[in-house]
Amino acid sequence: MSAGREPYRDRNGRDRDKGRVRIPADIDRPDKLLAGLTARQLAILAVTAVVLWVGYAATRHVMPAAAFGAVAVPVATAAAALALGRFEGVPADRWLGAAWRHHRNPRRFVPAPDGIPAAPQFAPDLAGPAPAPLRLPVARVAGDGIVDLGGDGLALICRASAVTFALRTPAEQEALVAGFARFLNSLAEPVEILVRAEPVDLAPIIDELIDAAPGLPHPALETAARAHADFLADLAARRDLLAREVLVVLRQPAQANNTDLAGRLHRRGAEATAALAAAGVTLAVLDGPAAAACLARALDPAAPPRPEGLTPSASYATDEPVTLAVDRRSASQ
């Protein structure tokens, strides 16, 4: 609690701030060392200043100061922009580093356990850059929804419902925050909360409306169904529609002295379901087919959906290639 601030008390006169510690929103913000600059920014500016001074000392007898200034000013400006600038909320040096790594990394990845074979000699220019082998952290997906991460342990994917927070009363908001805080305080193992979005295809819904409209018992219902189909078609033509999904991933690191990691993950899933229910969140643990389909959509959201099902259907914990398929209707919801 900050100095000089009156403590917040409830209607019974109890101090509600007692025992609470305020944590800044951006806990990853680097420390400011000098003149509001971080160590990274000071290092970039100091190295640039040293390089310019050494260059001036080495060339002052053979180059006029004005000529050296014409070279030093753009260099100093670029260094200042690199140290102080930000692109899309990211520091300029890290943004450029990420852009360079993106440019250097391959664009295509293919499953190749034995490596990528070399292109034939007769078509070195037509083949283009060779794809890189795809190394996924997921080894397999079990039938009960356990995701095997190999040496990194196991994971369990849960789908969470959203909560309308802004429309709640202050008392309800406080209760929801308190329930979510209890869930966070009870965590002893890694947990990831992921909010993802994927494209929505309204074509199946529009086709169903048009096909079902003639069979409705009243002409007004048929007219309303066709009007709604036209509205959805116009909406899909004017906007890029996205479906939002909230996932809670529970991970259990590999432990040499614990062989029941899968059972422990399922118990954690049940505990998380009960804890988040107090915050108004409905948590559903995904089984094998649903977890595999979720991973497939995350890897390739734009892939055309295929008939519903998962092959092989008897066991998901196999070393054979797994064919994933997503129902068009469920993917658009």
pLDDT tops 90 at residue 162: no
User: Domain total for the chain?
Assistant: 2
pLDDT tops 50 at residue 195: yes
312: domain range? 140-200+241-331
Residue 62 lies in a domain: yes
Residues 38, 151: one domain?
no
85 by Cβ neighbours in 10 Å (0-12 / 13-18 / 19+) ranks as middle
Higher pLDDT, 240 or 318: 240
Residue 19 lies in a domain: no
Residues 188, 89: one domain?
no
The pLDDT-based confidence of 295 (bands split at 50, 70, 90) is confident
pLDDT tens for 228-280 read: 999 999 988 888 888 888 999 998 887 766 667 888 888 888 999 988 888 88
Tell me how far apart the alpha carbons of residues 90 and 30 are, in angstroms, rounded to a whole number. Answer: 13
- Lookup result for tokens 């947990």: 191
pLDDT tops 60 at residue 325: no
Residues 58, 180: one domain?
no
Residue 302 lies in a domain: yes
Q: What is the mean pLDDT of residues 119-148?
A: 76
H or E segment to which residue 192 belongs: strand 191-199
In a 3-state reduction of DSSP, which class is residue 174? helix
Residues 323, 278: one domain?
yes
β partners of residue 267: none
Residues 268, 324: one domain?
yes
- Lookup result for tokens 């398929």: 325
Question: Do the beta carbons of residue 202 and residue 332 sit within 8 Å?
Answer: yes
Higher pLDDT, 309 or 174: 174
Tell me how far apart the alpha carbons of residues 103 and 243 are, in angstroms, rounded to a whole number. Answer: 30
pLDDT tens for 10-51 read: 555 555 555 566 666 666 677 777 777 888 888 888 999 999
Residues 95, 144: one domain?
no
pLDDT tens for 72-100 read: 899 999 988 888 888 877 888 888 888 89
Residues 72, 196: one domain?
no
Residue 159: per-residue pLDDT:
92
Tell me how far apart the alpha carbons of residues 62 and 64 are, in angstroms, rounded to a whole number. Answer: 7
pLDDT tops 90 at residue 227: yes
Question: Do the beta carbons of residue 134 and residue 116 sit within 8 Å?
Answer: no
Tell me how far apart the alpha carbons of residues 283 and 249 are, in angstroms, rounded to a whole number. Answer: 11
Q: Which residues contact 296 (CB under 8 A, 6 or more apart)?
A: 303, 324, 326
The pLDDT-based confidence of 318 (bands split at 50, 70, 90) is very low
Q: Are strands 191-199 and 310-311 parallel, antiparallel or unpaired?
A: unpaired
Residues 169, 315: one domain?
yes
Residues 171, 278: one domain?
yes
Residues 144, 85: one domain?
no
Q: Among residues 104, 127, 156, which one ends one of the domains?
A: 104
pLDDT tops 60 at residue 292: yes
Residues 40, 180: one domain?
no
Residue 225 lies in a domain: no
Residues 156, 86: one domain?
no
The pLDDT-based confidence of 158 (bands split at 50, 70, 90) is very high
Residue 234 lies in a domain: no
Residue 106: per-residue pLDDT:
80
